[in-house]
Each structure stands twice: as C-alpha cells, then as structure tokens.
Amino acid sequence: MPRSQPTRVRIPRIGVDAPTVALGLDRNQQIAVPPLNQPKTAGWYKLGPTPGEVGTAVVVGHVDSRVSGRAVFFRLGALKPKDTIEVLRQDGKKATFVVDGVARYPKAKLPLNQVYGHTGTAQLRLITCGGAYDKAAKSYKDNIVVFATLATGRTT
C-alpha cells in the first residue's frame, strides 16, 4: 500500500476502537508515547512506515492511567495468533493485519531488531507496557509486543 497516515486502530477481539496520533522521538531518543491525558489514544511512529506500507509500522499505547484506569492497550496481551487488527488510513483505505504472536520482554532487553527490523513485507507492531510496576522508576518493567502481518488481499 502507498504511504498514508493511520487515523484509527480497531482490534475486535479486545474491544479497541481508538484514534491515532503521529509521534516522533522523546528527549531520550526513544519512541514517544501518546500524551498521558489521552489514555484511549494510540500513537503511530511517524518516522517509520505507515501501516500497510512495506516495512515495520509501529503503534504504541498506554496500558493504564492513574486518572482513568484501563487505557487503550490494557488487554493487548490477550491477543492470539490469527486475531485481526484493522488500521484505518487517511487515504480512506483499511489495512487488515493478522496477529503472528505476542511476546513480553524486559524493557532493558527488548530485541530491537526483531521488534523494529525491516522484514521486506508489511508488518505491524503494537507495543504497550506490561509486567510488574516499578514504583521507584514510575514505569512498568516489561513491554508487551504484538507481531502482525498484513493480510494478503485484505486491504480495502
């Protein structure tokens, strides 16, 4: 598919139907996250491919919020292989992805090439926090990563 910014992400199995915002890098040169006051919004990494383009598109979201409780990707870890993820795009097309797998990694040991590396096909990664909460660091210790591939013939 040609480049086109995502506008919504839908994940029927876990009840997600959320708007997206474009994100760059934060001050630590890490992928930024959606604003904390928008816990039901997913963020697309605008410096990479768009969902449906060849390459690995990345969408991130909060697992929870001190203010609102459950956030957009609260149930992300419940996805299973063959579940579907729909990404609506600014060009009016919809890219449908099929989940290949879900993994949990310690943040310090995230396999960067496996998560972000170029595969030669249209891939999608959904990322949120997981595992135990570290009160001192004010952060979860792990990341939940969903690996998905564009479904052949499933773009509209």
Least confident of 32-36, 124-128, 141-145: 32-36
Q: Is 126 exposed, middle or buried (0-12, 13-18, 19+ CB in 10 A)?
A: buried
Is the residue at 1 inside a domain? Answer: no
Residue-wise pLDDT for 65-98, tens only, equals 888 899 999 999 999 999 999 999 999 999 999 9
pLDDT reported for residue 153:
58
Residue partners of 52: CB distance under 8 A and separation at least 6: 1, 4, 87, 89, 93, 95, 122, 150, 155
Q: Is 135 exposed, middle or buried (0-12, 13-18, 19+ CB in 10 A)?
A: exposed
Give the Cα separation of 14 and 117 in Å (integer): 26
Is the residue at 32 inside a domain? Answer: yes
3-state secondary structure of 91: coil
Total domains in the fold of the chain = 1
pLDDT reported for residue 146:
98
Q: Is the dihedral of CA 64, 34, 40, 67 positive or negative?
A: positive
Q: Read off the CATH number of the domain in which 48 is found.
A: 2.40.260.10
pLDDT reported for residue 154:
54
Domain span including residue 96: 6-155
